Each structure stands twice: as structure tokens, then as C-alpha cells.
């Protein structure tokens, strides 16, 4: 018998402060274990889906994009207590896996609406929403917090049977499975027989999973500390969250067969069958750029034609206001023929690459800011090498005057969108974002999420607090980590090589050695989500039709993907930077005008 197995229930560190499985080490470990495929099923979000997809592809492992959604048996629109009057949990878990790209899009919609419509302590969906967006999805009943398992734990077999049929009806026969797990937990042992009986009675097949939260058995203690960090507790607190088992690691195929092979071999083989049902290919080379709304006076022009018209008008503006005066004084470094040739070649390149709409969008944003007295910076980065950008007033630096290359900004080999960063006055940035939202639709514009990670010093401090190590001792160890080099944090491993005092402290003190070893296991894990200081996404359609969105702690609509992952999806990403220097300069100029 070919004893294969695929993990279909796995949490990465994007299940924030609940799992310690980092994606790159996960890909390496899966390759070592010769796993053919693997799913990502983080709690209530798709934060890591794109990174996971590309990391798995790089190791020739089939990526299965999923999510362990929070499911309410009531309405997602209700804001009720987390526990019913009968003592039943209101929020449950449900694993959803994308079979194809349509399934991925529906998963994005579900996790988005869980935030925008169903958020109450957690982002939640309900049966109504699941029924509306079920195409292309496979459902697993999840852990003991899933609906059927939770009902079986209450000895409500008939209710569990009814719920199982309901999920199967919504997802379709052959797309819903009952999960069975064994972490040697009392509740799992108690419902195991009932779960097998439920599967037989409903003819909904069983599937074996392991609810992975960390990579290796040796990571169990570090994971326990992560739970302490997330809940603000220490290991010495009696009343704290515990998993109660050291078996939530990435078990090998052999280990899973030892667990279930004798009694439930079909539940193991079914994991491979489900993996074969899932075949998602994310689009590549696609750019989701909004269509710029051309004014009524120029409706007869297409985007590319209107773009060229606007650039030519800008060229004439620069020629009459700048270049002719410089030429008359003999201060123009290049001839007007060279300017004409350069602007024509840039226009042709931009039109050929399909970026006319992008330049019109940026032009409109900068024009709006200037027309509404919002100070705008002169330009930054490689965009200053574009004469088109200069003619449009996007930048205020003449690229020919300073011998700047357009090709450094845009060339035929570039596969991603061009990137023009714009500096705005601190006080005016929000007004610019509001303008963009009103022009393209509030559901098509949002800010970009970013993730804080447990860097070396932070990991030591967090682990030290969780271990209840005296504050002064933790600070002493943390201060031994050298400062960042060229913006990059020095890792704990690098610090051990570079700092003899740190090595000596580990040798002399077992508590310090324990602290450092545990901190290394958690170093690099995502710790919290926040809003990127500058990033804004503009979509041609409502965002949740292309990518998942979330709502920040300050009620800002954000993407669920970080900036580097957004670029891989072809979304239009722009940096609207709030620059204090512009505000100060503007205030100074106003004061001077008032005084003199």
C-alpha cells in the first residue's frame, strides 16, 4: 500500500500569536518529508496565501489555499454573546479549501465580508454567506471547535447529523468532509466513536488531519510561550490558554499512518484525493489597473490617445514656461529636438506596455492635490527619470537636465507595474485618499496591511516576559544584540557569533540559555498587523472580487496581503507618503507671506 498523506489543516504564523509555523521553513520541511501537497488554513484570514503559494511552487509542492473561518450558526450581522444561554459556543470553526481559481475568489469574498460585515471579536461568516459564495470550495468540519464535533461533545448526535447534512447541502455532495484528529486530547477520544458513526450514518466521508501549529515536536514549548505572549500571561499563570498536547506539529506521513492506518486508512487516503481535487493556478502577468474616467469633452478618444494628448499639452507647458527661457540664456543642456525625441519614445513605450491609464491616474492625483493647495514633493526614486512624468507635473525634476535614464524606471523587461511614490503634506494626505475613493469607488480603494515580526530583541523580550524572567535580566540580554546593520536586524544566531558576552551568559546561566533557545524558535514570526504608512491600492472593481480585505483595529479598510505579495497579484499599488518636511516648508512660506 502506498501510504501517502497530505496536511489539509495547517496554521502558519499568520494565525497571529497562535501558530509558529513560518512559511519558508515549512516549505523546506515538507520537501524533506516528501509531501506532495499542503494546505494553508490560518484563522479567519488569508494573510499568508500568496507567500505560501509561491514558496510551495518553488519546492514543487502543490499549494492548497484555504482558511479556517470563524462560523456563526446565527447571523453574522448579530452582535450577541460569545456563549449562548444553553452554554453553547456561538462561534465555531470551518475549514474551507479552494479547488480552483473561482474557489480562491470566493474564499477572498468570504474572508473579506467576515471582516466588513461579520466582525464581532472575530471575523465571522454564516450559512447565508457561505451558500452565496460556495462555488469552487471544499469544506472540512474542522477541529473540536467545528460545529459537528462541538455538538457531539454535548451528546447532541441528532443535531450534529442535521448540521452535517446542512453543510453538505450548501457545499454540494462530495465537497464536505468530517475531520478526525488525534492529539491525545480527552475530548477527541470521547467523540471519536460518535464521529465515525456520524460519518457512516450521513455518508459524509471522514478525513484525517493534524491541526498543525508548529513544525517540530521540539517547538511545542516555544508555541506554548507564544500563546502566553498573545494572551499577556506568563507560564506560571494557572488560568491561561493551553493546547494540552505536544502533538500539534507537522507529523510525517508515517506518523499519521501509525495513528489512523489500522482503523481508518480511508481517512488518510482521502487527504490525497482532496489534494488532487484542488488545482489552483494564480494568474501571472496580469495588471488590474482601473480605467481612468476620460472627461466628456474628450469622449471620442481612447485611453492611450487621451494620455498622449495630456502629455503633449504638458510638454508645451514645460517648453513655454521653462525650456525656451533657459535656451534663450544658453542654459539648456539639450536641444529641443532631443526633448521631442525623448518624450515621443517614452510615450510609445508607455502605450506599448499598457500603462497609459496608470500615468493618467497618477497625473490626476497630483493635479488634484496641487489644485486644492496640498503641498506635493518634487518626485523621488527612478520616476524622476521620466520626461513624461515631468511634463505631466507628476515630478518637478527635468530628467535630461540631470542625465537621468528613463529605462531605469520603465523598460520592456519589467514585468511588474511601474512605481511612482508621491510625497504629500501630512495634513493633506487624507484629503487626497478621499478624492481617490470618491473617483474610483470606496469599495475599490483601501490602504495596505503590514506585519510586525518578532525580531531578535523583541523575541527575547517577549519570551523573557512569558517565562517570568526578571525584567532587568531580560533587558541585559536584549541589549547584547547589536544594532541593525544597513537597516537589517542582527539575528540571534549572528549575535551569538559576534558577541562573546552573550555566549558566555548562555554557558554560565541555564535560564539565559533556555531564554535564548526559545527566542530563536519564535524569532521572525509575525506578531501583529497594522496599516502601512504610505501604501494605497486602487482596483478597477470592488477589491474583494480580486483580493481579500480586512478591517484594522482603527476601522481602516486594508488589504489582507502585504505590499510584496500585492505586487504578485497585479494590483495597482501606490505610495502616498505623508512628509512632515513639506508641511513645515508650507507653514514657513505662509508665515513669511503674512509677515512680509
Per-residue pLDDT of the chain (596 residues; tens, 9 = 90+): 578 999 999 999 999 999 999 999 999 999 999 999 999 999 999 999 999 999 999 999 999 999 999 999 989 998 876 655 455 677 899 999 999 999 999 999 999 999 999 999 999 999 999 999 999 999 999 999 999 999 999 999 999 999 999 999 999 999 999 999 999 999 999 999 999 999 999 999 999 999 999 999 999 999 999 999 999 999 999 889 999 899 999 999 999 999 999 999 999 999 999 999 999 999 888 889 998 999 999 989 999 999 999 999 999 999 999 999 999 998 999 999 999 999 999 999 999 998 999 999 999 999 999 999 999 999 888 999 999 999 999 999 999 999 999 999 988 887 677 888 899 999 999 999 999 999 999 999 999 999 999 999 999 999 999 999 999 999 999 999 999 998 899 999 999 999 999 999 999 999 999 999 999 999 999 999 999 989 999 999 999 999 999 999 888 899 999 999 998 998 999 989 898 999 999 889 989 988 88
Q: Please state the φ and ψ torsions of residue 36, each to the nearest 5 degrees.
A: -80, -25
Q: pLDDT tens across 432-448, in order?
A: 999 999 999 999 999 99
**What is the 3-class SS of 151-215, one letter each residue?**
HHHCCCHHHHHHHHHHHHHHHCCCCEEEEECCCCCHHHHHHHHHHHHHHHHHCCCEEECCCECEC
d(CA 300, CA 297): 8
Cα–Cα separations (whole angstroms), residue 430 to 289, 360, 446, 588, 589 = 22, 20, 12, 21, 22
Total structural domains within the chain: 2
What is the per-residue pLDDT across 490-547, written as a single tens digit (0 to 9) for each? 999 999 999 999 999 999 999 999 999 999 999 999 999 999 989 999 999 999 999 9
Q: Are 255 and 339 part of one and the same domain?
A: no
169 lies in a domain?
A: yes
Q: Is residue 197 domain-shared with residue 58, that is, in the same domain?
A: yes
Contact 502, 480 (CB under 8 A): yes
Residue whose entry in the numeric block shows the C-alpha cell 446565527: 74
**CB 62, CB 282: distance < 8 Å:** no
In 3D space, the residue among 64, 62, 69 whose CA is nearest the CA of residue 49 turns out to be 64
Domain holding 271, by residue range, is: 23-215+250-277
Asked if residue 569 and residue 443 are part of one domain, the reply reads yes
Sort strands 557-559 and 91-98 into parallel, antiparallel or unpaired: unpaired
Q: Where are the alpha helices (DSSP H) in 119-156?
A: 127-132, 147-153
One domain, residues 313 and 267: no
Q: How far apart are CA 549 and CA 47, in angstroms?
A: 9
Question: Is 484 part of any domain?
Answer: no
Q: Across the strands, what pairs with 41?
A: 66
Whether residue 163 sits in one domain with residue 262:
yes
Q: What are phi and psi of 79, to 5 degrees?
A: -115, 85
- Whether 518 is covered by a domain: the verdict is no
Sign of CA dihedral 97, 102, 108, 109: negative
Q: What is the CATH number of the domain that holds 132?
A: 3.20.20.140
- What is d(CA 249, CA 21) in angstroms, rounded to the nearest whole number? 9
With respect to residue 582, please indicate whether it lies within any of the assigned structural domains. Answer: yes
CA pair distance 167, 298, nearest whole angstrom: 53
Compute the radius of gyration of the chain from its Cα atoms. Answer: 28
The DSSP code for 10 is: B
Owner of C-alpha cell 497571529:
16
Same domain, 562 and 443: yes
Q: Are residues 367 and 336 in the same domain?
A: yes
- Is 496 among the domain residues? no
Instruction: Say if residue 261 is in the same domain as residue 342.
Output: no
Q: Which helix (H) or strand (E) holds 106?
A: helix 101-116
Q: Is there a contact between 26 and 55 (Cβ–Cβ < 8 Å)?
A: yes
What crossing angle do the helices spanning 253-260 and 265-277 adopt, rounded to 10°?
130
In a domain, 287, yes or no: no
160 and 31, same structural domain?
Answer: yes
One domain, residues 335 and 434:
yes
Q: Are residues 114 and 34 in the same domain?
A: yes
Long-range pairs of 466-471 with CB within 8 A, sequence gap ≥ 24: 466/225, 466/228, 466/229, 466/233, 466/234, 466/235, 467/225, 467/234, 467/235, 467/511, 467/514, 467/515, 467/518, 468/234, 468/235, 468/236, 469/511, 469/515
Q: Checking phi first, is residue 268 left (phi over 0); if not, alpha (psi -120 to 50) or beta?
A: alpha
Q: Is residue 469 situated within a structural domain?
A: no
> Which regions of 518-587 does DSSP assign to beta strands (E)?
526-538, 549-551, 557-559, 572-579
Q: Is residue 426 part of a domain?
A: yes
Query: Could you tell me if 176 and 38 lie in one domain?
Result: yes
The DSSP letter of residue 552 is -
| Distances from the Cα of 272 to the Cα of 192, 262, 263, 566, angstroms | 22, 18, 18, 30
Amino acid at each position: 500500500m502506498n501510504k501517502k498523506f497530505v496536511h489539509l489543516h495547517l496554521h502558519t504564523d499568520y494565525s497571529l500569536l497562535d501558530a509558529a509555523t513560518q512559511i519558508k521553513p515549512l516549505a523546506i520541511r515538507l520537501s524533506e518529508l516528501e509531501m506532495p501537497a499542503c494546505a494553508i488554513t490560518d484563522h479567519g484570514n488569508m494573510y499568508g496565501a500568496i507567500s505560501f503559494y509561491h514558496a510551495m511552487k518553488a519546492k514543487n509542492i502543490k499549494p492548497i489555499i484555504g482558511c479556517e473561518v470563524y462560523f456563526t450558526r446565527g447571523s453574522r450581522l448579530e452582535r450577541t454573546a460569545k456563549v449562548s444561554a444553553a452554554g453553547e459556543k456561538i462561534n465555531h470553526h470551518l475549514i474551507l479549501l479552494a479547488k480552483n481559481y473561482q474557489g480562491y475568489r470566493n474564499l477572498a469574498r468570504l474572508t473579506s465580508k467576515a471582516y466588513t460585515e461579520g466582525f464581532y471579536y472575530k471575523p465571522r461568516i454564516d450559512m447565508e454567506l457561505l451558500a452565496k459564495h460556495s462555488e469552487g470550495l471544499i469544506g472540512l468540519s474542522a477541529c473540536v471547535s467545528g460545529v459537528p464535533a462541538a455538538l457531539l461533545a454535548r451528546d447532541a448526535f441528532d443535531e450534529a447529523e442535521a448540521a452535517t447534512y446542512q453543510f453538505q447541502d450548501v457545499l454540494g455532495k462530495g465537497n464536505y468532509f468530517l475531520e478526525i484528529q488525534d492529539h491525545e486530547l480527552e475530548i477527541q477520544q470521547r467523540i471519536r466513536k460518535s464521529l465515525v458513526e456520524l460519518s457512516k450514518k450521513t455518508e459524509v466521508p471522514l478525513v484525517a488531519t493534524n491541526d498543525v501549529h508548529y513544525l517540530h515536536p521540539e517547538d511545542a514549548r516555544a508555541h506554548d510561550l507564544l500563546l502566553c505572549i498573545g494572551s499577556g500571561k506568563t507560564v506560571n499563570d494557572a488560568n491561561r490558554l493551553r493546547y494540552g498536547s505536544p502533538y500539534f506539529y507537522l507529523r510525517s506521513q508515517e506518523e499519521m499512518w501509525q495513528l489512523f492506518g489500522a482503523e481508518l486508512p480511508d481517512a488518510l487516503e482521502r487527504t490525497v484525493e482532496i489534494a488532487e481535487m484542488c488545482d489552483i493556478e494564480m494568474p501571472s502577468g496580469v495588471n488590474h489597473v482601473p480605467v481612468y474616467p476620460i472627461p466628456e469633452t474628450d469622449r471620442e478618444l481612447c485611453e492611450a490617445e487621451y494620455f498622449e494628448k495630456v502629455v503633449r499639452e504638458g510638454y508645451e507647458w514645460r517648453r513655454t514656461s521653462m525650456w525656451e527661457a533657459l535656451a534663450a540664456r544658453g542654459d539648456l543642456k539639450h536641444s529641443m529636438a532631443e526633448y521631442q525625441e525623448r518624450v515621443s519614445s517614452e510615450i510609445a513605450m508607455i502605450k506599448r506596455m499598457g500603462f497609459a491609464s496608470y500615468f493618467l491616474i497618477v497625473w490626476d492625483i497630483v493635479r488634484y492635490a496641487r489644485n486644492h493647495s496640498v503641498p506635493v514633493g518634487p518626485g523621488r526614486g527612478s520616476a524622476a527619470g521620466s520626461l513624461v512624468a515631468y511634463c505631466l507635473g507628476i515630478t518637478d525634476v527635468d530628467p535630461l537636465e540631470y542625465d537621468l535614464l528613463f529605462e531605469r524606471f520603465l523598460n520592456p523587461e519589467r514585468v511588474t507595474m511601474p512605481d511612482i511614490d508621491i510625497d504629500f503634506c501630512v495634513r493633506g494626505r487624507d484629503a487626497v485618499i478621499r478624492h481617490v475613493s470618491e473617483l474610483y469607488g470606496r469599495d475599490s480603494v483601501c490602504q495596505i496591511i503590514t506585519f510586525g515580526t518578532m525580531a531578535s530583541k523583541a523575541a527575547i523580550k517577549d519570551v523573557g516576559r512569558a517565562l517570568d524572567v526578571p525584567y532587568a535580566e531580560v533587558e541585559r540580554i536584549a541589549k547584547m544584540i547589536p544594532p541593525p546593520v544597513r537597516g537589517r536586524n542582527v539575528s540571534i544566531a549572528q549575535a551569538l557569533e559576534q558577541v562573546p558576552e552573550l555566549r558566555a551568559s548562555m554557558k554560565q546561566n541555564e535560564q539565559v540559555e533556555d531564554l535564548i533557545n526559545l527566542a530563536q524558535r519564535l524569532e521572525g514570526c509575525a506578531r501583529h498587523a497594522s496599516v502601512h504608512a504610505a501604501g494605497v491600492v486602487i482596483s478597477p472593481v470592488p477589491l474583494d472580487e480580486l483580493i481579500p480585505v480586512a478591517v484594522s483595529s482603527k476601522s481602516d479598510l486594508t488589504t489582507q496581503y502585504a505590499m510584496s505579495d500585492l505586487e504578485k497579484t497585479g494590483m495597482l499599488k501606490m505610495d502616498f507618503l505623508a512628509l512632515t518636511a513639506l508641511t513645515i516648508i508650507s507653514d514657513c512660506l505662509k508665515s513669511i507671506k503674512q509677515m512680509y
